[in-house]
Chain A
Amino acid sequence: MLVLLVVLSLLLLTAYFGESPNGRLHGVQRAFLTVVSPIQNGANKALKPVRDTIGWFGETLGAKGERDKLKRENDTLRKQLVAEQAEKTSLHQLQGLYHLDQLGAGEYHPVTATVVGKSPNIWYSTVTIDAGSNAGVRVDDPVVNGEGLVGKVAQVASDGAQVDLITDSSMGVSARLGKSTSTGIVQPKVGEPGDLLLQYLPSTAQPSQGEFVVTSGTVSSPDDSLYPPGLLIGQVTSVNEETGFKSVNVRPSVNLQNLDVVQVLTSAAGSHAAGIASLASQLPAGKGSSAGEAGAEQYASTASGG
C-alpha cells in the first residue's frame, strides 16, 4: 500500500510539474477551488471572530514595542523627508507611490477582494482571495494594497484566485531604487519572509539605507513588465557589495502577515497590460506560471539596461 501511494504521489508530482499552467491537473485544482470557494468564504466569515480574538491578544502584547519602533521610524522618516524636499524629481516620485488609482490610467481596473485563506507552508507564500474570473481577475494580474505591492495572481477560478505573494520563492519583480534609475530584480530570500533581495544593480548604483524600492515596469514602452511603474515594494535595509553587481536587502512595505483586503489591478481586455500578461503566460513554465513571470521580469530588466 505504501509503495502504491508513494508511486501515485510521484506520478502526480511529475505530471503536475511537467504540464503547463493550462494543463489538466491545474484545471482540476481550479475546478476544486471553484467548488470550495463559497465554503471557504463562509468558513472565513464564521471563523473571523476567533481569528480576531486571538489576534487581539497578540496585537495588544506587541503594541507597546511596536509603538516605540514606529516612533523611531517616524523620526527617521521625518529627517528623510526634509532631505528629500531638495530633490524635486525624487519627491514627485515618492508622492505618487500611494496614488494607486493613477497608475497606468486606463490600463488597470482595481478589483477589491478579501483574503480568505493563507498557506501555512514556509515554502509557499500564497493567499486565496474571494474574487475570480467573474470579477475580471486574470492570471498574472498585479495585486496591491494601500501599503504597496502584494504579489500577483497565480491561478484563477470563477469566484476565487490564488495570489503568489512577493515573498514566494517563485517570484521575481523588476524594480528600481526610488532616487535613481538603477534597476534590478527583487526576489525573496527563502526562509526569511520579512526580507527581500534587490539583485543585479549596476556596480555604479549608490543605494542608501531607508531608500524606497519601487516597481520599474512600464506598460507603454518596449521595457514592458507585468507590474505598473512606481508601486512601492519596500525600503532598503542594508547594502551588499558583490563582484560585478550590487544587491540590497529590502524590507517589504506591506505587512504580509496581516493581509485582509487587497486590490487586483485587472487589465482591460485588449489593453497593453493585458497583452503583456498574455505573453507572460505563454512563456515556458517551471512551477506554475511563476518561472515564466520571473523570466518576463528578467527580460524587462535586461531590456531596460538595468
Chain B
Amino acid sequence: MSPTATGSLPVRLAAMALLLAFVQVGVVSEIPVFGVNADLSPLLVAFVGLLCGSTIGAVYGFATGLLIDLLLLQTLGLSSLIFTLVGYSAGRLRELRDPQAALTPLLVGAAAAGGSLLGYSLMEFMLGVDAPVSFELLRQIVLVTVVDTIIAVPLWLAVRAWLQSALPEDPRRRRRRRRAYTTGGLSPLSRP
C-alpha cells in the first residue's frame, strides 16, 4: 500500500462527488431520455463501494447524499440514508464475493438505481405524500433503472480509471494472483 496513493484517494473521491453533483444538476437532469432523467448519484456511490469496500462506500454514500440534499434543498438526511446503504451493500458484495464478471458493473448499477428509487419511494410514503400517487410511478422507476443501467458501464470505466492509481493494493487480489502462479498459472515474467 503506497502512502501517497491512499492519501490522494479522499481528494479524488471529493472531487468526483462535486463534479458529479454539478454535472447531474446542470446537464443530466435537463436531458430527458425515454421521458425520464438519469440519476448518476446512486451509480457513483455503488461503484465507489465496489472499488473501495463497505466502510468507504458507506461513508461516501453518506457524504454524497448530504451534498445532494444540500445542493437541491431536498429533505436533509433522506439521500444520505439511502446512499449509505447503497455504498455499504456494494462494498460488502466486493468483500464477500469480489465479483470479476464483465457484467458486474451493469448489475450493480441496476441494483443501485432501482434500490435507491424504491428506497426513496418507501421513505416518501412513510413521511406522508400530499399528492395522489399513480401506478405510473412504477413505470418511471423501471425506466430510470433502465437508463441508469445503460450509462452504468461508461460511468464505471470512468470512476475506475479516476480512482485506480489511488486505490490501495487489494490483499485478496494479490493472493489470487499468487495462487494462480503457484498452481500452474503462467508467471507474468515468463510470458513471451
User: A238: CB under 8 A from chain B?
Assistant: no
Q: In the complex, what residue of chain B is closest to A124 when comparing beta carbons?
A: B74
User: B28: CB under 8 A from chain A?
Assistant: yes
A275-292 contact mask (Cβ, 8 Å, vs B): 1 or 0: 000000000001110110
Q: In the complex, what residue of chain B is closest to A45 when comparing beta carbons?
A: B26
Beyond A13-B76, A122-B140, A169-B124, is A6–B130 a contact (Cβ under 8 Å)? no
| Residue in B23, B62, B139 with the greatest tally of chain A CB atoms within 10 Å | B62
Which of B1-9, B64-72, B172-180 sits within the interface?
B64-72
User: A95: CB under 8 A from chain B?
Assistant: no
Q: In the complex, what residue of chain B is closest to A9 when comparing beta carbons?
A: B81
Q: In the complex, what residue of chain B is closest to A188 when comparing beta carbons?
A: B131
By the criterion CB–CB under 8 Å, are B29 and A43 in contact?
no
By the criterion CB–CB under 8 Å, are B78 and A189 in contact?
no
By the criterion CB–CB under 8 Å, are B24 and A120 in contact?
yes
By the criterion CB–CB under 8 Å, are A1 and B58 in contact?
yes
How many pairs, one residue from A and one from B, have CB atoms within 8 Å of each other in the complex?
A: 189
Beyond A189-B132, A191-B139, is A126–B73 a contact (Cβ under 8 Å)? yes
Q: In the complex, what residue of chain A is closest to B31 when comparing beta carbons?
A: A54
Q: Which residues of A contact B133 (CB under 8 A)?
A: 189-191
Q: Which residues of B contact A116 (CB under 8 A)?
A: 25-26
By the criterion CB–CB under 8 Å, are A43 and B134 in contact?
no
Nearest-Cβ distance from residue B44 to partner chain A, whole angstroms: 12
- In whole angstroms, what is the CA distance A32 to B73 when docked? 9
How many residues of chain A get a CB closer than 8 Å to chain B's CBs? 68
Name the contact of B77 in the complex, choosing from A9, A122, A155 (C-beta under 8 A). Answer: A9
By the criterion CB–CB under 8 Å, are B130 and A120 in contact?
no
Beyond A13-B81, A29-B73, A121-B74, is A2–B58 a contact (Cβ under 8 Å)? yes
By the criterion CB–CB under 8 Å, are B73 and A162 in contact?
yes
| Residue in A1, A123, A286, A290 with the greatest tally of chain B CB atoms within 10 Å | A123
By the criterion CB–CB under 8 Å, are A120 and B37 in contact?
yes
The interface of chain B, by Cβ under 8 A from chain A, is: 22-32, 35-41, 54-55, 58-59, 61-62, 65, 69-78, 80-81, 84-85, 88, 117, 120-121, 124, 127-141, 144
